[in-house]
């Protein structure tokens, strides 16, 4: 028993001694975590360089855009062909992708040799050979009668400007074909394929094998956004934010970047880590000075590194008693498969002995232990360096997403990774140690380079098909110049119908006289109260106006909520609530005893008989209080004040918010004779010649007309541009068939139009993976403010996704792009429609004055105009195009409904006093 223990002790001691000997000799190959973190930082800096336009030409890590913008979503289907060129054999595949409720991929493939005369010949021969192999495969499978989409995996660095184009930068691995560098490989392939008249394929995608790996794994796990190959060569790709890729136009969405990390260190940035053996391997390669990182890592070089180390150790008498065989001196005699065999746990030492003996050596037990440890150090360094670069990519993904913790999947492939017994475990362990804030799943790719090319092609086909369907849906929101001219002309006709006595009663654009017959002249002064009712909030204001050199307007206000049960209760309850709010405000300001002149902004269609009489035509914007339509709202307010019997007020004017907007801007700019609101609702007013207003007595001077243009189209005159989504929104509203123009242009409805489109896209499987969430079914969930946020140019798609997540919509990056497009189409149409309508009004003003050219100011208010990032610009552009003889200035109103009401009251008082005098 003692003898057994003694033997075990001797063997352990022997092993320790050999390991220490090798550790001392290969000290520079053993990398600490601090060194690896430093490598990670260096690689992050190289990635940034490769992505920047100015630094890219000199960057070692090329960070090549692949124009792969989307990973599989599981809905891909069809038959595809794939070519896989880049390894020791060339392969042709037929891939059938089926959806049908469960994802399924079936593959048939055929390997073809790549003899040296092909890999070291000329370009024409190479691509003719590829085309011949494809023709042979199709003949064998009896599929020459059918047209196929084809993806081409070409595992060499290419510059791409689109998915189906790629200019070869340089050959790597053992390929050295003449006349191909700096040419488009897809053009060369297509030229070769044209020689086969019976082969009908559509080459849709050029794919790097690393991208193929990511796409293959992405089909099984949609979290996969990184692909890594550690085989004959090594490389990585990942999904980068478009906004960070200077080399490609546009900043929406993501694109797969082929890092070409094998060239990391070609600029000298890894010189302090490269050993004499790395330099010797490089000098003996077919591309000295290039792919230096790859030469420290990949399967093509690990065996050679081990051979050079063993040779030097033998020369120094540290191995094989200083004896060196011819095979050990011969380049390429130790391969990576030998390294993997020697590192096997159980049979590793026996394998080592056999491999060394095949090399003509007579190894001792000590030699075998030492050689096995050399292999471990070389392959462990490879895994460590790979882990450091991969950790840099994962950190970049996490930072791009602004996450504290990232959960992601990395697709893996390559013979070294798959066949080396310890490699995967080492790589995973080091990655998790370097980036503890990343939860990484490593997923082994199944035939990534071939199946991956088919998956990229399948995704490209899906995107083309989806794009076509989405374009068809959004095309209904595009307005041609002819459409806009029609809208302008019809609006002009409807304005005339509303002004004429015989057509006024049936006119959809009501053209209501406001009895506001003047704009401010600067002499207005005094204290005025203003009430503002037009949405879910109600305001009471005290406005102090000073005239003369110290002309100013000071305002004090308080906001009160109007609960839904009041909005949709009885008229008496509504006006009692309003008076309660006024009482609270007067108490708050300490002015309960004063009988102040009051302007009442009432932002609903009213038929006025005088400035202080207004009968409500109909409720809009969600109000439904009973016993109000047809009644005089000023009388209803006076009755409510009487019922309370606490204070008295001089109600001078009932005012529309649009008129208030015009008056507020008119106080600053006398040229302002139009008021426009684009907010919850949409409306316009303008100063019309009295002689044109047939429904009011008198022909002298002007009067402000409240167009109530929201009703434009209620007679069907714009039905040709209404979409099915507009009709769905109308049918689901409180007032079906009414305010049709407003429902296409105002903030209250745009979000709902977007929701209806998103529902349709989801039903067609074009959004949210075809999954209809409960929130998407909820009316009103998509508020118009979300359109403004989503369309903001400053907002990254990540933030768009967050907004959608807040709404309970679990979106991908692609979904976010589509949602942004939908929002853009709906809001652009709204701005164009408002622009065409406004053009009709400014043209009417020009014709009224009989001018060749009109210069006029439009006072504007409303959240849609003020907060939406593009609405105002599109509106102004449309007005300019539709009314070229009018020079229109847009002036933002400062509180039209509050300050405007006070100014109208002040103007009315001034005109009343002038009349009395």
Backbone angles phi, psi at 497, to 5 degrees: -60, -40
Tens of pLDDT, residues 580-597: 999 999 988 888 877 888
Tens of pLDDT, residues 784-835: 788 888 887 666 666 777 778 877 777 777 788 888 899 999 999 999 999 9
The CA angle 162-410-418, to the nearest 5 degrees, is: 105
When pLDDT is cut at 50, 70 and 90, the band that residue 2 belongs to is: very low
Helix, strand, coil percentages for the chain (3-state, nearest 5) = 50, 20, 35
Backbone angles phi, psi at 723, to 5 degrees: -95, 170
Among 18-22, 235-239, 599-603, 791-795, whose mean pLDDT is lowest? 791-795
* Ranges of H-type helices in 401-480: 415-419, 423-434, 448-475
Look at residue 15 and tell me whether its pLDDT is greater than 70: no
Backbone angles phi, psi at 379, to 5 degrees: -75, -35
When pLDDT is cut at 50, 70 and 90, the band that residue 4 belongs to is: very low
Provide the angle, in degrees to the nearest 10, between the axes of the packed helices 299-315 and 365-400: 140
Signed CA dihedral, 739, 743, 749, 752: sign only: positive
**What pLDDT, on a 0 to 100 scale, did the predictor assign at position 6?**
42
Look at residue 100 and tell me whether its pLDDT is greater than 60: no
Look at residue 536 and tell me whether its pLDDT is greater than 90: no
When pLDDT is cut at 50, 70 and 90, the band that residue 10 belongs to is: very low
Average pLDDT, the chain: 89
Long-range contacts of 267-273 (CB under 8 A, 24+ apart): 267/58, 267/60, 269/42, 269/46, 269/60, 270/39, 270/42, 270/296, 273/28, 273/31, 273/35, 273/39
**What pLDDT, on a 0 to 100 scale, did the predictor assign at position 914?**
57
pTM listed for this prediction: 0.71
Among 23-27, 172-176, 217-221, 273-277, whose mean pLDDT is lowest? 172-176
First vs last C-alpha separation in the chain? 132
d(CA 880, CA 889): 10
Of 447, 603, 788, 816, which is the active-site residue? Answer: 603
d(CA 234, CA 387): 12
Look at residue 779 and tell me whether its pLDDT is greater than 90: no
The CA angle 382-386-390, to the nearest 5 degrees, is: 170
Looking at the DSSP bridge assignments, the partners of residue 543 are: 528, 555
**What pLDDT, on a 0 to 100 scale, did the predictor assign at position 132?**
94
Q: Which residue has the higher pLDDT, 620 or 560?
A: 560
Burial 150-173 (b: 16+ CB within 10 A, else e): bbbbbbbbbebeebbbbbbbbbbb
Dihedral angle of Cα 544, 545, 551, 555, to the nearest 10 degrees: 40
- The mean pLDDT value for 125-139 works out to 93
- Nearest CA among 613, 542, 612, 619 for reference residue 582: 542
Burial 226-253 (b: 16+ CB within 10 A, else e): bbbbbbbbbbbbbbbbbebbebbeeebb
DSSP state of 391: H
Backbone angles phi, psi at 486, to 5 degrees: -60, -45
**Starting at the edge strand that comes first in sequence, how are the strands of the sheet with 702-706 ordered?**
512-513, 702-706, 682-689, 672-678, 854-861, 886-892
**What pLDDT, on a 0 to 100 scale, did the predictor assign at position 3?**
46
Q: Which residue has the higher pLDDT, 310 or 534?
A: 310
Q: Which residue has the higher pLDDT, 105 or 202?
A: 202
Tens of pLDDT, residues 171-224: 887 788 999 999 999 999 999 999 998 899 988 888 888 888 998 898 888 899
**What pLDDT, on a 0 to 100 scale, did the predictor assign at position 797?**
67
Of 539, 801, 876, 910, which is the active-site residue? Answer: 539
Tens of pLDDT, residues 831-848: 999 999 999 999 999 999
**What pLDDT, on a 0 to 100 scale, did the predictor assign at position 913?**
67
Of 84, 278, 632, 657, which is the active-site residue? Answer: 657
d(CA 215, CA 172): 22
539 is catalytic: yes
Dihedral angle of Cα 544, 547, 550, 556, to the nearest 10 degrees: 10
- The mean pLDDT value for 475-497 works out to 96
d(CA 223, CA 217): 9
Look at residue 14 and tell me whether its pLDDT is greater than 90: no
Those residues whose C-beta lies under 8 Å from the C-beta of residue 16, and which sit 6 or more positions away, are: none
Backbone angles phi, psi at 154, to 5 degrees: -125, 100
d(CA 237, CA 92): 23
d(CA 109, CA 30): 42
- Written in H, E and C, the secondary structure of 523-573 is CCCEEEEEEEECCCEEEEEEEEEECHHHCEEEEEEEEEECCHHHHCCEHHH
User: Rg of the Cα trace of the chain?
Assistant: 38
Look at residue 443 and tell me whether its pLDDT is greater than 60: yes
What is the residue-wise DSSP string for 721-778? Answer: G--HHHHHHHHTSSSTTS-HHHHHHSHHHHHHHHHHHHHHHHHTTSSGGG---TTTTS
Long-range contacts of 307-315 (CB under 8 A, 24+ apart): 307/331, 307/333, 307/334, 308/277, 308/280, 308/281, 309/25, 309/26, 309/277, 309/374, 309/378, 310/334, 310/371, 310/374, 312/277, 313/22, 313/25, 313/370, 313/374
**What pLDDT, on a 0 to 100 scale, did the predictor assign at position 726?**
96
- The mean pLDDT value for 884-906 works out to 85
- The mean pLDDT value for 393-412 works out to 95
When pLDDT is cut at 50, 70 and 90, the band that residue 13 belongs to is: low
Tens of pLDDT, residues 671-725: 999 999 998 889 999 999 999 999 888 888 899 999 999 999 999 999 999 999 9
**What pLDDT, on a 0 to 100 scale, did the predictor assign at position 730?**
94
Q: Which residue has the higher pLDDT, 785 or 351?
A: 351
d(CA 295, CA 274): 10
- The mean pLDDT value for 547-569 works out to 86
d(CA 439, CA 450): 28
Dihedral angle of Cα 464, 470, 473, 474, to the nearest 10 degrees: -110
Look at residue 5 and tell me whether its pLDDT is greater than 70: no
Q: How far is residue 824 from each of residues 123, 642, 790, measured CA to CA in Å?
A: 47, 50, 9
């Amino acid at each position: 028993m003692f003898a057994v223990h003694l033997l075990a002790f001797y063997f352990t001691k022997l092993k320790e001694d050999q390991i220490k000997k090798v550790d001392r000799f290969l000290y520079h190959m053993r990398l600490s975590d601090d060194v690896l973190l430093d490598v990670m930082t260096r690689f992050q800096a190289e990635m940034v360089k490769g992505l920047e336009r100015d630094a890219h030409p000199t960057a070692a890590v090329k960070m090549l855009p692949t124009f792969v913008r989307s990973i599989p979503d599981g809905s891909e289907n069809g038959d595809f062909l794939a070519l896989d060129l880049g390894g020791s054999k060339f392969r042709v595949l037929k891939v059938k992708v089926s959806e049908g409720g469960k994802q399924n991929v079936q593959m048939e493939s055929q390997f073809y040799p790549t003899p040296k005369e092909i890999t070291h010949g000329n370009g024409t021969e190479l691509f003719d050979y590829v085309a011949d192999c494809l023709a042979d495969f199709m003949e064998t499978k009896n599929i020459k009668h059918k047209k196929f989409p084809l993806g081409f995996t070409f595992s060499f660095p290419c510059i791409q400007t689109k998915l189906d184009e790629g200019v070869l930068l340089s050959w790597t691995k053992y390929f050295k074909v003449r006349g191909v560098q700096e040419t488009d490989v897809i053009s060369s392939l297509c030229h070769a394929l044209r020689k086969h008249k019976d082969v009908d394929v559509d080459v849709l995608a050029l794919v790097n094998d690393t991208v193929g790996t990511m796409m293959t794994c992405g089909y099984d796990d949609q979290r996969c956004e990184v692909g890594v190959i550690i085989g004959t060569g090594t490389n990585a790709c990942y999904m980068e934010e478009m906004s960070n890729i200077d080399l490609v136009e546009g900043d929406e969405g993501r694109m797969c970047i082929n890092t070409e990390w094998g060239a990391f260190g070609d600029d000298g940035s890894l010189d302090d880590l490269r050993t004499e053996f790395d330099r010797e391997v490089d000098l003996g390669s077919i591309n000295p000075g290039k792919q230096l990182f790859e030469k420290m890592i990949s399967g093509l070089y690990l065996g050679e590194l081990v051979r050079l180390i063993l040779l030097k150790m033998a020369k120094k008498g540290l191995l094989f008693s200083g004896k060196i065989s011819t095979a050990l001196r011969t380049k390429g005699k130790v391969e990576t498969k030998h390294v993997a065999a020697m590192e096997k746990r159980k049979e590793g030492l026996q394998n080592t002995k056999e491999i060394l003996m095949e090399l003509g050596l007579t190894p001792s037990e000590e030699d075998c232990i030492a050689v096995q440890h050399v292999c471990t150090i070389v392959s462990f360094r490879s895994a460590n360096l790979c882990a450091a670069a991969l950790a840099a990519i994962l950190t970049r993904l996490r930072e791009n997403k602004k996450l504290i913790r990232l959960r992601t999947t990395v697709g893996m492939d390559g013979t070294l990774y798959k066949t080396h017994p310890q490699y995967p475990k080492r790589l995973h362990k080091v990655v998790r140690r370097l980036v503890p804030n990343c939860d990484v799943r490593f997923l082994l790719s199944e035939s990534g380079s071939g199946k991956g090319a088919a998956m990229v092609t399948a995704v490209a086909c899906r995107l083309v098909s989806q794009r076509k369907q989405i374009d068809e849906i959004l095309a209904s929101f595009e307005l041609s110049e002819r459409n806009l001219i029609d809208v302008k002309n019809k609006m002009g006709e409807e304005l005339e119908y509303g002004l004429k006595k015989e057509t006024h009663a049936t006119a959809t654009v009501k053209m209501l006289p406001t009895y506001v017959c003047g704009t401010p002249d600067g002499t207005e002064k005094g204290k005025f109260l203003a009430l503002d009712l037009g949405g879910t909030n109600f305001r009471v204001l005290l406005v102090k106006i000073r005239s003369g050199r110290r002309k100013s307007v000071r305002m004090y206000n308080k906001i009160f909520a109007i609960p839904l049960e009041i909005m949709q209760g009885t008229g008496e309850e509504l006006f009692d609530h309003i008076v309660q709010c006024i009482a609270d405000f007067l108490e708050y300001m300490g002015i309960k005893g004063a009988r102040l002149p009051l302007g009442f902004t009432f932002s609903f269609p009213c038929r006025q008989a005088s400035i202080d009489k207004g009968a409500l035509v109909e409720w809009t914007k969600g109000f439904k209080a009973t016993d109000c339509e047809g009644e005089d709202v000023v009388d209803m307010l006076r009755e409510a004040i009487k019922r309370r019997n606490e204070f008295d007020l001089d109600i001078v004017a009932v005012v529309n918010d649009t008129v208030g907007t015009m008056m507020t801007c008119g106080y600053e700019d006398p040229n302002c004779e139009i008021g426009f609101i684009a907010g919850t609702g949409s409306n316009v007013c303008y100063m019309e010649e009295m002689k044109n207003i047939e429904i009011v007595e008198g022909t002298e001077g002007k009067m402000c007309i409240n167009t109530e243009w929201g009703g434009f189209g209620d007679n069907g005159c714009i039905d040709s541009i209404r979409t099915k989504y507009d009709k769905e929104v109308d049918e689901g509203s409180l007032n079906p068939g009414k305010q049709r123009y407003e429902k296409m242009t105002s903030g209250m409805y745009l979000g709902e139009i977007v929701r209806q489109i998103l529902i349709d896209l989801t039903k067609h499987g074009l959004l949210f993976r075809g999954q209809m969430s409960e929130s998407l079914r909820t009316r009103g969930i998509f508020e118009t403010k979300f359109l403004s946020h989503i369309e903001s140019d400053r907002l990254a798609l990540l933030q768009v996704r967050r907004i959608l997540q807040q709404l309970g919509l679990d979106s991908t990056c692609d979904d976010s792009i589509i949602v942004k497009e939908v929002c853009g189409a709906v809001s652009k149409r709204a701005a164009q429609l408002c622009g065409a309508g406004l053009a009709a009004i400014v043209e009417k003003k020009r014709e009224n004055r009989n001018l060749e050219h009109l210069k006029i100011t439009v006072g504007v208010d409303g959240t849609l105009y003020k907060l939406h990032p593009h609405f105002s610009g599109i509106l102004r552009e449309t007005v300019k195009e539709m009314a070229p003889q009018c020079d229109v200035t847009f002036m933002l109103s400062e509180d039209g409904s509050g300050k405007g009401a006070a100014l109208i009251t002040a103007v009315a008082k001034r005109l009343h006093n002038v009349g009395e005098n």
